[in-house]
Structure 1
Amino acid sequence: MKALSPPRRLAVAVSGGRDSVALLLLCAAYARQNGSEITAYTVDHGLRPASAGEASRVGGWCEPFGIKHVILLWKGEKPNTGVQAAAREARYSLLIEAAQADGCEALLTAHTADDQAETVFMRLARGAGVAGLSAIPKESFFAAGAGEPLRVLRPLLEFTRKDVTSFLEKQGQSFVDDPSNDDPAFERVRVRALLAALEEQEFVSIEKLCMTADKLALADAVLCAQEDSLFDALGGCFHSWGGVSVSDWQAGRAASGLARRIIHAVGGGEYPPGEDKAAAAVFQAANTGSATLAGALVKKWNGRLWFFREPSALTGREGVPALSPAPVTKPRVWDRRFIVERQSATSIAVGPMGEMAAEFLGPRTGLFQGPREALSSLPGIYAAGKLIGAPALPFMGRSAASARCLVTERYQGGIVRFS
């Protein structure tokens, strides 16, 4: 991949905590030296009474450096459970949208070596493989919903929290201590305390865990290349309607990883399945005709092995309600597999085509290149409750809406989308 040039307009996420304040000071120095334009963004989640004052305090720290400061508010109802995960999703969506609206070329976040080590440890406890243990990359791409991806850089990953604290003390710079960072109700806080104790006993260290992450990132890149080569050797094909097919299958490490990536790509899940389960599902389909896993259906059909969205995961089954049509007022991500955009002033909604697919398509059903049941899980466009379009199919008109397939993007894994 061609190296990207250093961005000139930078967005910096500054919560007010020690790591992000250190990043702010470093960005200010970088801007003085290179003439870059910096904008600092603080997300006020509204979860603590002191959050508004802390956000304003960040603005005071930005002022002497001439750095523009913007406070972003997380509005609306907050969930009763999974607050941290929801806050993270909302935070990145707000940051990405604001940074792109201001013309920023990249977003900088203040993840440190401690964050990296904690992430490796937590994923190790869950039995993660090579990809998971690669942990936090120095550079990636994030997108807010259907928006374009934004480059995300993490320049502090090589520095520990102790390094950051020492730097701030030398600068005479204060910062905010979020009380949630000491709340043992959160897994990361418990892991942080455990790692500190283990490091004191010389059983493990932040440095060694980060070294492991770096080595596994290199190994993961090699394995992904092997999986891509196997996909080509198996006559793999990405179909525009969101399915994937191969002409044959074989066992092996690369095949297990490839199965995991394909099933994740077509299944619409947030996280990929384990490699062992993915390999077992494909082996079952190759030998018995079909298998399901993680929202995907693997089916032997017409001399090939096909991977596509499991229809009943969208149209409903026992314990899984049908996915209701959702209004399309602006470009939106649907089922994590398509970006759907309205093309006319007609009020429309998007939902699974379901049992109406064959009747709606009529003779054109024969033009569909894939197992017929896959049609049920494709996005259908509805107006006043009536199916009026199938924008994922290349032979259908797209007067009401367009649908851009994200399956290849999901397979490659280079972009994280926040709704």
Structure 2
Amino acid sequence: MALMLMAAEWADRTGHTVHAVTVDHGLRPEAAGEAAFVGETAASLGLSHDVLRWTGWDGQGNLQDQARQARYHLLAQWAGKRGAIAVLLGHTIDDQAETLLMRLARGAGVDGLSAMAPQFTRHGVPFLRPLMQVQRRTLRGYLSDRGQEWIEDPSNEDTKFDRVKARQALEALAPLGLNSETLSRVAGNMAQARDALNWSAHRFARSAVATVAGDLIIQRDAFLDLPDELARRVLVRALCWISGAGYVPRRAEVGHLLQAVREGKGATLHGCRMMPRKGGLHLFREYVAVKGLTCDPGHAWDGRWVLTGPESAGCHIAALGEAGLALCLDWRDTGRPAAAVMADPAVWRRDRLIAAPLAGVANGWQAELGPERDDFANTLLSH
């Protein structure tokens, strides 16, 4: 609410256009009325207001994590339709401190304990956090001074959520000097350490990682010489770059994968497969992860490949698979293992293979990686 008022005041001063948006996760019956209240306030400020509804919760998994991922996806879609150049989020210094405490409890490493980024890109849309150094009580005072009412989310008092427990723990830790400002400084220090590690990982990737048809090949001996934290960092980013997943695998799972690398064994993780081969670590998409994926030509298949060609009527994009591989007589010329080629995108018309440009059967078709996969090394500099 405070962010909306501030943005409206900024828009009045500068002549820019601001839109307001609320995500209703459909988890509380009161949410619809709260969204209506926000809409009325937005109208009084001269702002448009849209309500986005999420209906994807099936009662399984981590509710807050799924809701967060859905929220960013919905907001990115909304921003694209609105033609917005950025989305502003209301995270505060208190959110930063609570997040740090929760991640400490989970045994997080450098990345997990680093400060929340003041700006980042998700689904191609920039997100900004302009209130990261502001306390909640300051925002409440700002609203009170303007006579603006707000609604407290009742889940903020529900101790079944870890964030609420962290909030209560901060109150108990305050006499020791462990307050939001102190923890925010610690998170900032960790962010500097993270950036230094990312810089080193980027330098390694530039010299020891090659990209071949969307796969990554890491020089095994050079990789084994890396300190554990750098090796883990390179491997995690490689898995995310290939799979397109918006979250990283668990630390213990990555540890098992690193052990397989040291022992010269293959392994699968995060929808990817790692295979020691010809002095390198060949990482590629796991066929099982893409077996059922289809899309129309010209659209992003598996979130990263776009296939275009001369005649697309009646065609669809799907994984090449074992049957398609048997029809690509020259696939070995790619120098890639059969398991990697099977997970490549191919053009099909019903059950007939039309083209497999990455497997040597182009027939006028091209396969290109999307812009977010254009340079693996550069992804190591982002967070």
Judge same fold: TM > 0.5, yes or no. yes
Distance verdict in 2 for CA 1:138–1:72, change over 3 Å: same
Structure 1 residue 162: deviation in Å?
A: 1.3
Distance verdict in 2 for CA 1:243–1:255, change over 3 Å: closer
Distance verdict in 2 for CA 1:402–1:294, change over 3 Å: closer
Aligned residue type for 1:331? H
Deviation by residue 1:384-405 (Cα, 9 ceiling, x = unmatched): 2444443555863464986648
Deviation by residue 1:296-319 (Cα, 9 ceiling, x = unmatched): 3332323433222344x438xxxx
Deviation by residue 1:247-276 (Cα, 9 ceiling, x = unmatched): 632231433422332233335555334667
Distance verdict in 2 for CA 1:223–1:398, change over 3 Å: farther
Structure 1 residue 26: deviation in Å?
A: 0.9
Unaligned runs of 5+ in 2: none
Query: Of 165, 175, 185, which residue of structure 2 is paired with 1:211?
Result: 185
2:37 aligned with 1:33: no
TM-score by length of 2: 0.85
Structure 1 residue 88: deviation in Å?
A: 2.5
Aligned residue type for 1:99? A
TM-score by length of 1: 0.78
Give distance in 1, aligned partners of 2:106 and 2:25. 29
Structure 1 residue 351: deviation in Å?
A: 4.1
Distance verdict in 2 for CA 1:79–1:374, change over 3 Å: same
Structure 1 residue 23: deviation in Å?
A: 0.3
**CA RMSD after TM alignment:** 3.1
In the other structure, the counterpart of 2:215 is 242
Aligned residue type for 1:134? S
Distance verdict in 2 for CA 1:56–1:409, change over 3 Å: farther
Distance verdict in 2 for CA 1:275–1:184, change over 3 Å: closer
Distance verdict in 2 for CA 1:187–1:375, change over 3 Å: same
- Matched-pair contact (CA < 8 Å) for 1:340–1:401: yes
In the other structure, the counterpart of 1:324 is 292
Aligned length: 377
Give distance in 2, aligned partners of 1:165 and 1:333. 46
Query: Of 24, 38, 50, which residue of structure 2 is paired with 1:58?
Result: 38
Structure 1 residue 375: deviation in Å?
A: 1.2
Structure 1 residue 134: deviation in Å?
A: 1.4
2:245 aligned with 1:266: no
Aligned residue type for 2:233? G
Give distance in 1, aligned partners of 2:250 and 2:26. 36
Give the secondary structure class of the aligned counterpart of 2:18.
strand
Unaligned runs of 5+ in 1: 1-20, 144-148, 316-322
Give distance in 1, aligned partners of 2:59 and 2:255. 37
Greater relative contact order, per chain length (Cα 8 Å cut-off, separation 6+): 1
